Amino acid sequence: MPGKMSTKLQKQNLKQLMSKKSEHGTGEYPVATIACYGPSATLATKVVVGIFLKQSDDPEFLERWYSEEVDVRLVPEIAEEVAALLKKHAIKTVVAPERILGCPHEEGIDYPEGARCPKCSFWAHRDRFSHDLIL
């Protein structure tokens, strides 16, 4: 359970934090990536933060937050926990796309490798970066 929120973070949600943090960055390490996923292009039910302490293909730390009912980007407690994680690792650069990056379910974990997610038909024929239909 998150602790008491500071006055500054009480009114901040993840959308605001991502916008604020991604505007600043030196290109130096440590780097954080913040990505949101959801069943559609408008509802984010999962946020994933990767922490790269040095240049690498895989993050040294990976944290996930979930919500089935509420958009994770609008939950102040999640924004507080993400901000605390960034502070803990003294992040210098944040990469945070504004768009939802696809289905929140993981291929090979939540559904078979090579298959489409049976729960997220919205993404079945869409590019996860542009959200354009792929026919």
Give every strand in the sheet of 61-66, ordered side by side.
Answer: 61-66, 46-52, 31-37, 93-95
Nearest to 46 by CA among 37, 35, 34: 37
Residue 18 burial (10 A CB sphere; 0-12, 13-18, 19+): buried
Domain presence at residue 131: no
For 26, the domain range is: 7-123
Can you tell me the distance from the alpha carbon of 74 to that of 94, in angstroms, rounded to the nearest whole number?
19
pTM for this model (two decimals): 0.83
Domain presence at residue 116: yes
Domain presence at residue 134: no
ω into residue 97 within 30 of 0, thus cis?
Answer: no
- Reported as a single tens digit per residue, the pLDDT across 26-71 is 788 999 999 999 999 999 999 999 999 999 899 999 999 999 889 9
| Number of domains comprising the chain | 1
